[in-house]
Chains A and B, each alone.
Chain A
Amino acid sequence: MGLPLPEDQTIETDNEIISELQRGKTARFRALVDRHKDKALTLAMRILGERQDAEEAVQDAFVKVHLNISQFRGDSTFHTWFYRILYNECVSRMRRRRNAPQFMSTNDHEEISIADDDASADAQMLASDIQELIQIEFEKLAEHYRTALTLFYLQELRYEEIAGVMDVPVGTVKSYLFRGKQLLRKRLEGYGQREAEVA
C-alpha cells in the first residue's frame, strides 16, 4: 500500500476512472470498488450494526453505481454521490427492519438511561477505558447521529459533503455532530457517576 494521496489527487483519480467507465472501459469498475469498499463498509456497519447486512448494503450500492454511472455528472465528488446512494440503501434497510419483528430497538429515542439497561450496564462494567465506552455508547446513538459522526470523524467529509449525503441543511449537520457528542458526554458522565456510587 502506498502513502495516502492528497485529497485533490484522489478526487481527480476517481473522476478519471469514472470518465473511463463512461467511455465503456468497464474493467475500471474494479478500481472504484477496491478503493472505496472499506470506508463504505465502515459507514454501513456504523449505521446498520450487522456485518452481513452491511456487506449486502455496500454491494447493492456498488451495483447501483454501476447501473447509474452514466448519470454521474461530476457536480459533486464521487464519494459524496456514492455515500448518498449507500446511505439511502442503509436507511431503506433500516426501515424494512423496523417493519419486521424486532428483538432490539434501533434507538430512535435519544435519551437512554444507562441504569435502565441491564445488558448495557454489564457491557459497561467490562469496558476498561473510555475508548471502549465511547464505542459501546456510539452504537446506541440514533442513526442520524452515527452517520454524521462517522462521515465527519472517520471519513473526514466536510459539512457540505455530509449535508449532500444525508440530504439535510449544513446547519442540521452541525447540530447532529454537536448533539451526538453531547449525548456521548452525558452518557460518559452517567457512567462516571455510577462508578463513583459503586466506589
Chain B
Amino acid sequence: MIDQTGHLDGETMQDFLAGRLEREDAARVEAHLSSCHACSSLAQNYQTIERSLRRLPQEHAKRGFTEKVLERTGLSTPRLYRFADVMAGVMAALFVGGVLLLVFGVLGIIPITSSAGGVSAAATAWNSVSTRADEIIRSLPASLGIGSVGVPSVILAVVSIAVIAVLLGLDHMVERWIARGNGAR
C-alpha cells in the first residue's frame, strides 16, 4: 500500500479512486491522503483525468449509415423508406425541370404565355392563378429581372422546392421512427 518512498503505490491509488478497496484499506488511504500533500495532489490529478476521459466526445454515425450496412449484407430496406427515396427523386426531377423552364424563359428560348381560353376547369383555374401571379411578379422592381419570366416556371420551381423540403423532412422522420423502433440509443 505504502511504497518505499512513503507514498501510496500506483495500484492502491487506482483501486481507491475506482472504489475497489475494502473499507479498512480505504480508511487507511484516506488517512494517508489527509496528511500527505503529494499523494493528495496526485489523487486529484487522476480524478481530473478520469473525469475528462469520461467526457471525451462520442461519435455519431451519419444518416444513412445503417442503410449502407444493410446494403452490404444484402438485407432489404422497408418499403416506406424506399417510397420516400423514390418520391424525393421524382420531386428533384420536377425541381430541375422547373429551373430549366425558368432559365429558358429568361433566355426567351421558350415563349411562355398564359394560355387563355382553356377548355377545362383546371386550365381556367390555372390561368386565373397564373394571371394573378403574373401581376404580382410584374409589380416587382424591374432590376430583379424576373418580370419577363414566365409565371408557370416560377410557380413550378417554388412548389417543387417546398415539396422537396417537406419530403426530406418526412424522410428524416421516417428514419428516426425506424431507428427508435429498433431501440437505438
- Which residues of A approach B to under 8 Å, CB–CB? 1-2, 4-5, 13, 26-27, 29-31, 33-35, 37-39, 41-42, 44-46, 54-55, 58-59, 62-63, 66, 130-131, 134-135, 138, 149-150, 153-154, 174, 177-178, 181-182, 184-185, 188
Contact of A1 (CB < 8 Å), options: B61, B72, B180: B180
A-B contact count (CB 8 A): 112
User: Taking CB as reference atom, which chain B residue is nearest A156?
Assistant: B54
Q: How far, in whole Å, are A150 and B58 apart by their CA atoms in the complex? A: 10
Q: Tell me, rounded to whole Å, the shortest Cβ–Cβ distance linking A127 to chain B.
A: 12
Contacts of A154 in B (CB 8 A): 53-54, 56, 58
Contact assessment for A153 and B56 in the assembled complex, using a CB-CB cutoff below 8 Å: yes
Binds A, one of B21-29, B41-49, B98-106, B161-169: B41-49
Contact assessment for B59 and A62 in the assembled complex, using a CB-CB cutoff below 8 Å: no
- Which residues of B approach A to under 8 Å, CB–CB? 10-11, 14, 42, 45-46, 48-50, 52-62, 65-66, 68-70, 72-73, 75-76, 178-180, 182-185
From known contacts A1-B185, A138-B53, infer whether A38 and B58 are also in contact, taking CB-CB under 8 Å.
yes
SS class, residues of chain A in contact with chain B: helix
Q: How far, in whole Å, are A185 and B10 apart by their CA atoms in the complex? A: 13
Contact assessment for B59 and A38 in the assembled complex, using a CB-CB cutoff below 8 Å: yes
Contact assessment for A13 and B183 in the assembled complex, using a CB-CB cutoff below 8 Å: yes
Q: How far, in whole Å, are A135 and B58 apart by their CA atoms in the complex? A: 12
Q: Tell me, rounded to whole Å, the shortest Cβ–Cβ distance linking A87 to chain B.
A: 16
Q: List 18 A-B contacts (CB under 8 A).
A: A1-B180, A1-B184, A4-B185, A30-B75, A30-B178, A31-B182, A34-B183, A37-B66, A38-B59, A62-B69, A62-B72, A63-B72, A66-B73, A135-B52, A138-B56, A154-B56, A184-B49, A185-B46
